[in-house]
Amino acid sequence: MKELLQVYFILGSNNTDRDPLIVLEEALQGGVTLFQFREKGDHALQADVKVTLAQQMKELCHRYNVPFIVNDDVSLALDIGADGVHVGQDDMSITDIKKRCPEDWIVGVSATNQSEAEKAVADGADYIGVGPIFGTNTKKDAKRPIGLSGVKQIRAVAPSIPIVAIGGIQLTDVIPLMKVGADGVSIISAISQSEKPMQATQAFARHASYFHQGM
């Protein structure tokens, strides 16, 4: 699981002005290790348009042997045969999800402090998305940034669970984040708003794998 978290790209149709399927394919060509479909916020797609895009993105990910995760919408994830879900603290509980979903599903949860991280471990989450690390405009209701020290504190109480850092992350943040305990980084705008998503992803992949070689 930890190696899957190295370059965890997240995209929804409102994170780019381009065709999201083209942006996704360019990022996949650049070496995305895990993908999450997150259709939220202004102008988010609904109903069957959202389902169709999700299905197309899933097929694209599977062509590149990358697992496809759905944010929040557990029934959509079940309906289209996703590889897992990512839920927030106030979404459906991990235990309920684990009861309803395939045994091999990846179930991730957000954590912004030590107690949320401890709860996620106790509930059996497969990974935790820790942040927001830095300020971000991508998520309207993002909480106060926790910085590198926030990751360090969470790693201190959750020594073995896979951790992906998220929130305002740029290329130069990768190695410092991995040094304080993150297993990878989750990115939206640094890739989705890039003029060259493939090259941007390649750079993230190089930094993340460089750290692993260095270990």
Ligand X SMILES: Cc1ncsc1CCOP(=O)(O)O
Ligand Y SMILES: C=C1C=NC(C)=NC1=N
> Of the candidates 12, 84, 167, 184, which one interacts with ligand X according to CB under 6 A?
167
What is the Cα–Cα distance from 28 to 59, expressed in whole angstroms? 12
Q: If phi over 0 gives left and psi between -120 and 50 gives alpha, with beta otherwise, what is residue 181?
A: left
The angle formed by the CA atoms of residues 204, 207 and 213, to the nearest 5 degrees, is 140
For residue 130, the minimal CB distance to ligand X (Å) is 9
Residue of the chain from 16, 26, 38, 66 that contacts ligand Y (CB under 6 A): 38
Feature table: binding site for Mg(2+) = 72, 91
**139 noted as active-site residue:** yes
Member of 6, 186, 194, 201 binding ligand Y (CB under 6 A): 186
What ranges in the chain are assigned the alpha helix state H?
20-30, 47-63, 74-80, 94-100, 114-123, 147-157, 174-179, 189-192, 197-214
Task: Kindly state the smallest distance separating residue 204's Cβ from ligand X, in Å.
Answer: 11
Q: What DSSP state is assigned to residue 138? A: S
Q: Cis ω on the peptide bond leading into residue 176 (within 30° of 0)? A: no
Confirm or reject binding of residue 108 to ligand Y (CB under 6 A): yes
Site stretch for ligand X (CB under 6 A), options 59-67, 117-125, 134-142, 204-212:
134-142
**Residues with catalytic annotation?**
38, 110, 139
Residues that bind ligand Y (CB under 6 A): 8, 10, 36, 38, 71, 86, 88, 108, 110, 129, 164, 166, 186
